[in-house]
Amino acid sequence: MTLAESITNYAGSAGQEAPALGEAAFQLIYDATAQPLWAYLLRVSGRRDVADDLLQETYCRFLARKNGRADVAMSDLDTRRYLFRIATNLLRDRWRNREEEQENDVEQGPVADADAATRMDVKRMLGALKPRARQLLWLAYVEGLSHAEIAEVTGLSALSIRLLLLRARRNAARLLQSNGRVTR
């Protein structure tokens, strides 16, 4: 056995030593959060492949950090927000690396029904907005987070959130209006 192999085995066994978060507990968290988290990543990034990658990466980071802080108990809601925070940081890292492309590739083909039409409108509307605006709209209106909670997730100040969210909401409404989808 070479030295590198010995070290690999050592690292492997160290990783298996009584993880703080068990697989069963992780499965519960995963089942409850994977779909909403993926929807968030998809609509904010606009790309399915990016959403898939970042979903996996989010849970990898979550497990790495959670296992390193076994003493920190988190409620379901806190865990969900924590996951959204990790995902938001990953999206920001991606934008910083200029890897983001604006191309949305989720729905292709003809629009079949009213729901699909609405979905296309939402998709177009979000695609026309800046990533930060998409993020804020989703966190505020889908996840139902308050300004303070959004500030915690995004790392921005609550005052900035207020202004950015207002601007995002007005832009979104204007875009939907121009698509003839507004019910005002």
Partner 1 sequence: MNAMRCQYETEMIRAIETGECSESLMAHQKNCAACREAVMLAQMLRRDASELATRYVPPSSERVWWVAERHRQMAALARATRFLRLLKIAGLAYSAVIIVWVLHVLTERGVGASWIEGKSVTAVIEGAGLAVLFVASGLWYTLRVDRRRVG
- The contacts of residue 120 (CB under 8 Å, 6+ apart) are 107, 111
Residue 164 to residue 137: CA distance in whole angstroms: 9
Q: Of residues 109, 110, 144, 180, which one binds partner 1 by CB under 8 A? A: 144
11 contacts partner 1 (rule: CB under 8 A)? yes
Q: Which of 93, 159, 169, 180 binds partner 1 (CB under 8 A)?
A: 169
- Give whichever of 68 and 97 is closer to partner 1, judged by the CB atom: 68
- 126/133 Cα distance (integer angstroms): 8
Q: Which span sits near partner 1 by CB under 8 A: 33-41, 78-86, 96-104, 151-159? A: 33-41
Nearer to partner 1, 11 or 98 (CB): 11
d(CA 22, CA 38): 22
Report the residue number, 68 or 98, with the smaller CB distance to partner 1: 68
Choose between 31 and 71: whose C-beta lies nearer to partner 1: 31
Using CB under 8 A as the binding rule, the residues of this chain from 76 to 95 that contact partner 1 are: none
Which three-class secondary structure string do you get for 3-44? HHHHHHHHHHHHHHCCCCCCHHHHHHHHHHHHHHHHHHHHHH
- Quick one: tokens of 123? 């998709």
CA angle at 166 for the pair 52 and 119, rounded to the nearest 5°: 40
Tokens of 143: 């996840």
Q: Which of 56, 102, 157, 178 binds partner 1 (CB under 8 A)?
A: 56
Of 44, 55, 153, 164, which lies in the binding site for partner 1, with binding defined by CB under 8 A?
Answer: 55
Tell me phi and psi for residue 17, to 5 degrees: -75, 110
Reading the block at residue 166, the tokens are 């207002």
**Chain contacts with partner 1 (rule: CB under 8 A):** 3-4, 7-8, 10-12, 14-16, 23, 26-27, 30-31, 34-36, 38-40, 42-43, 55-56, 59-60, 63-64, 67, 115, 118-119, 121-123, 137-138, 140-142, 144, 146-147, 162, 166, 169-170, 172-173, 176, 181-184
